Structure 1
Amino acid sequence: MNSNGWSRREALGALVAGTLGALAPAVVRGGVPDLLFRDVLLVDGTGAAGRRTDVLVRGERIERIGRLSPRAARGARIVEGGGRVLAPGFIDTHAHGDPLEHSYAGFLAMGATTVLLGQDGGSAGLADASGGRDGLRAWLDAVAHADIDINVATLSGHGTLRRRAGIPDETRVPAQAQLARMQALLDDDLGAGAFGLSTGLEYVPGIYAETRELTALGGVVARHDGVAMSHMRSEDDDRVRASIEELIAASLPARPHISHLKVMYARGEAEAESLLAFLHGKREAGIELSADAYPYTAGYTGIAILFPEWALPPSDYAAVLAQRRDELRAHLQARMTRRGGPGALLLGTGAHAGRTLEQAAEAAGKPYPDLLIELGPGGASGAHFTMDEALQSRLLLDPIVGLCTDGRPGMRHPRATGTYAKWIAQYVVAERRLTLEEAVRKCTGLPASVLRIADRGVIRAGARADLLLFDPASVRARSDYADPLAHAEGFDMVVLNGRPAWEDGERVGRAGRLLRRGR
């Protein structure tokens, strides 16, 4: 046996196959060329140990796995693995943007082949209160007929449902008829192919919703075997467990999922262990609870999160300033002090983008609370450095916690371009905190099981061919907070639905598909 795991007979056969492959044109089926990945380390997304083998892709699906004869390979484009890893494409369970308007090239560069949109209570593509484009079904149909560069799935957003049902943002107890309207709209979204429901309970209008309202929607999600994902009511250390309890109560009998799991203000692995024990206790009680997280200690959101509820829309902000300015100033100063001070907020939009709040206030010649008041709740977004590295890393390693980016194309946060590369380079290669097989499972098989996607996330015969070819030692996240848009390196080939989508450091096609629940 040769050192690369091939027998002499296999090596001679591979040589012949390579010669034939070079002489014969690639076989094309339905416009998609066949691909043979030869001599790869197959890491299949299940967590099983990697193994050296070949993988044949015909059309959009994986046809065969195993040492292949020259006849089986004839006419296919042969991709020499040379022992590099072949893994399923990564499934990002929390992303933003609109594929009808944006390229997801930065996601492809770091190995993401599927993004789940419609997060934080906002349905994908439906920005205005009326729902735009006649609702989510029309947007899904538009995406299905468009040339997109990544696979797209979506959730139905609770806040969008609320507004489409005619419920004013500040309403805390909707009428029964309004609840029924929300249920009907959600049922239609799920019937059109949404994978579940998202809530954004720190944002308007979700911040005004009570558990009874959310519970009315959980039953609809459960009937469609969907998932209920939430940016929860609070991620503060003294409120996070209560927020998880609310998510569970509001979701059941649907499956609850915690978006971007984190704990604000607490520090150390012991706090992470305590929270994980709490989560696993729920699972042992029969609740199919799951979560995702990203490998950064700064979140990214609007500065509205700093403001008290009474200063948020639909409140008259001018009236708030006229009547309660001193109270608002004191609140903002106390809030920022707890969150690490003005140096812990890096503004990413607006006139002060690229500066910390501290630097922006100094440049403006005024105290930072006054600058925040001037900007107002909708005045900017930024990176908020409020998390502890040791705590967040421990959460990330847990078997029920998958990876997500919480990113969008063009976002000024490195998670939108570096999440998966950082995950492999830091946690697998540099720190060896988990095996490559487990790291891949948490980005592939695990999210596929959460979403009930049967034919992606695992490499097996008959599955869709969303694939990554890479050498883990070469993977690198190039982006940081100073240069958040730099693409990751090291993913040599990214295949979507059997077609190369990223190769030699650039996007090479638009092979994305709309994914609909249950189809």
Structure 2
Amino acid sequence: MHWSRREFLAAMAAGTATACLPFAGRAEAPPGLLIRDVRVVDGTGAAARTADVLVRGDTVQRIGRISARSARGARIVEGGGRVLAPGFIDLHVHGNPLRQSYASHLAMGATTVVVGQDGSSPSAGEDEAGDVPAWLDAMARHAPDINVATTSGHGSLRRLAGIDDGTRDPSPAQLERLAALLDADLGAGSFGLSTGLEYVPGRYAATAELAALGRVVARHDAVAMSHLRSEDDDAVEDAIREHIDASRPARTHISHLKVVYGKGEARAERLLAELQRHRDAGVPLTADAYPYSASYTGIGIVFPEWALPPNDYARVLATRRDELRHALEQRMTRRNGPDALLFGTGPHAGKTLAQVAEATGEAYADVLLALGPRGGNAAHFVMDDALQARLMQDPFVAIASDGSPEGRHPRGHGTFAKWIEDFAMRDARVSIEEAVRKATGLPASILGLTDRGVLREGAKADLVLFDPARVRARADYVDPFQHAEGFDLVVVNGVPAFELGERVGVAGRLLRHRAEDARPST
């Protein structure tokens, strides 16, 4: 069939374009898809070129000048000079595709998400503790609306190994069990290890414990990702060195690269120069970042370690309340004050800490004391725009959302749109070719994916068709759930999955790290 945009809209209105309606079952790849007259931006950084692209099944069959006769039986889409790129690969995502739709990611051009972040593995059941092989088995039977990969969370593995959260020096037997669990995860298809060293229980793990796991990651040619032990201006370089030392000789990746409290491009340049020195010394080092000045995490991040689990918070309040109150005041002052914390969950969602304090007539420190370190998640406005913008432009820094379908931060619905809108179009800080590479080819290489992330003949047909000038990130901190605009057609495994603002097909797959690529144990 050969439908123009106007004809397709008319068919929708008449009820004849039934493929546009959301549905739960898996869609089969159409007989073919011919996308004509597009600017192919292939994900390698190479200059865009004008061509037609023919998809057969789940594969890009041909790129070039293609006649309608050669594409007999295929649906024809007129590109009209729009960009056709590989689907974006989001390296750092929260949530669980077993229980959630990622239509919000499809709407911003993403076709693959990577879960299992910050030290927490996904779970197959509500009460399970992050058993990755069980989750992979459940995921293989599921029909996700987006491609899904996972890493293995260090914190989840620690608990499965029977290591108490507060343990700082696991026994040799516990470390052996921890390494064996990770080895099994990687053999089953996990793409690597994630650590959350600013959170419980990762904050209690010493470098030696992490290094024992880094060797396992390296044997499988997987990647070691980390939410660093600290992202503070005066500690981030030391935290990066710790991550590198713990990951050797595995590929090393920094999650959501940022400098909390730092200011200006010059500070970013110093950090990027430090990362390059590590690369020059032979460290395979990459990072990812998102185009927002607020992070989003639990409010426990503002509490001192002695008030965090496994310590008894009720006892802390009873014995050290004044000390904790003072510590919270100091921490919040350094983090730009109570106006810079915007609650995303719980009874105060959508309000700043300052607004809650005013409404309740309490001091903001007392609001935090009442909530406790497990009192919810919030956006924390602790980053400098100029510094973060410079980090994002580095060629070794991929674009990743750190978002989820339900998190109250606009990055979960707007990251890739905002990246293109602000960096490639409004300010032209990167070319459209580089903007696409950092969202496709670069993250694919970080994961070790060889059949996605680059638009070439023989690759899987994960594609996004868009006019960069019309791309808009509509989500904001007031309404973080608005879908992005401007991504006209998103194809997942050869199947149109999102089109004209609607999810139209379910064709995602579980992606496993290929066991045959793993290096033998030594």
Flag whether TM exceeds 0.5 (same fold): yes
Task: Please give the alpha-carbon distance, in whole angstroms, between the structure 2 residues aligned to 1:163 and 1:30.
Answer: 40
1:20 aligned residue: none
Instruction: Report the AA paired with residue 65 of structure 2.
Output: R
Trace 1:33-432 onto structure 2 (pairs within 5 A).
Answer: 33-125=31-123, 131=129, 135-432=131-428
The answer to whether the 8 A contact 2:28-2:495 is kept is no
Aligned to 1:170, what secondary structure does the other structure show? coil
The answer to whether the 8 A contact 1:111-1:494 is kept is yes
Residues 268-322 of structure 1: per-residue CA shift (max 9 Å, x gap): 0000000000001100111000000000000000000000111001111111011
Task: Please give the alpha-carbon distance, in whole angstroms, between the structure 2 residues aligned to 1:171 and 1:389.
Answer: 38
> Structure 2: any 5+ residue segments left out of the alignment?
3-26, 516-522
The answer to whether the 8 A contact 2:403-2:412 is kept is yes
1:497 aligned residue: 493
Task: Give how far 1:131 is off.
Answer: 2.6
Task: Give how far 1:74 is off.
Answer: 1.5
Task: Give how far 1:154 is off.
Answer: 0.2
The answer to whether the 8 A contact 2:36-2:80 is kept is yes
The answer to whether the 8 A contact 1:129-1:160 is kept is no
> Structure 1: any 5+ residue segments left out of the alignment?
1-13, 15-28
Task: Give how far 1:144 is off.
Answer: 1.1
The answer to whether the 8 A contact 1:201-1:231 is kept is yes
- Greater RCO, CA 8 A, separation 6+: 2
Residues 71-103 of structure 1: per-residue CA shift (max 9 Å, x gap): 211211001001000000000000011111101
1:18 aligned residue: none
Aligned to 1:57, what secondary structure does the other structure show? strand
Task: Please give the alpha-carbon distance, in whole angstroms, between the structure 2 residues aligned to 1:325 and 1:126.
Answer: 39
Task: Give how far 1:168 is off.
Answer: 0.4
2:449 aligned residue: 453
2:5 aligned residue: none
What do you get for the CA RMSD once the two structures are aligned?
1.6
Instruction: Report the AA paired with residue 61 of structure 2.
Output: E
Task: Give how far 1:127 is off.
Answer: 7.8
2:507 aligned residue: 511
Task: Please give the alpha-carbon distance, in whole angstroms, between the structure 1 residues aligned to 2:30 and 2:66.
Answer: 20
Task: Please give the alpha-carbon distance, in whole angstroms, between the structure 2 residues aligned to 1:342 and 1:293.
Answer: 25
Aligned to 1:301, what secondary structure does the other structure show? strand
Instruction: Report the AA paired with residue 403 of structure 1.
Output: I
1:355/1:127 Cα in 2 relative to 1: closer, same or farther (>3 Å)? farther
Aligned-pair identity in percent equals 66
2:500 pairs with 1:480 = no
Instruction: Report the AA paired with residue 220 of structure 2.
Output: H
Please give the TM-score of this superposition, normalised by the length of structure 2: 0.93
Instruction: Report the AA paired with residue 170 of structure 2.
Output: P
Task: Please give the alpha-carbon distance, in whole angstroms, between the structure 2 residues aligned to 1:357 and 1:179.
Answer: 41
Aligned length: 492
Instruction: Report the AA paired with residue 349 of structure 1.
Output: T
The answer to whether the 8 A contact 1:171-1:208 is kept is yes
Task: Please give the alpha-carbon distance, in whole angstroms, between the structure 2 residues aligned to 1:243 and 1:30.
Answer: 46
Aligned to 1:33, what secondary structure does the other structure show? coil
Instruction: Report the AA paired with residue 36 of structure 2.
Output: R
Task: Give how far 1:338 is off.
Answer: 0.2
Task: Please give the alpha-carbon distance, in whole angstroms, between the structure 2 residues aligned to 1:176 and 1:401.
Answer: 36
Task: Please give the alpha-carbon distance, in whole angstroms, between the structure 1 residues aligned to 2:38 and 2:127.
Answer: 50
Trace 1:13-32 onto structure 2 (pairs within 5 A).
Answer: 31-32=29-30
Task: Give how far 1:364 is off.
Answer: 1.1
Task: Please give the alpha-carbon distance, in whole angstroms, between the structure 1 residues aligned to 2:224 and 2:101.
Answer: 27
Instruction: Report the AA paired with residue 389 of structure 1.
Output: D
Task: Give how far 1:126 is off.
Answer: 6.1
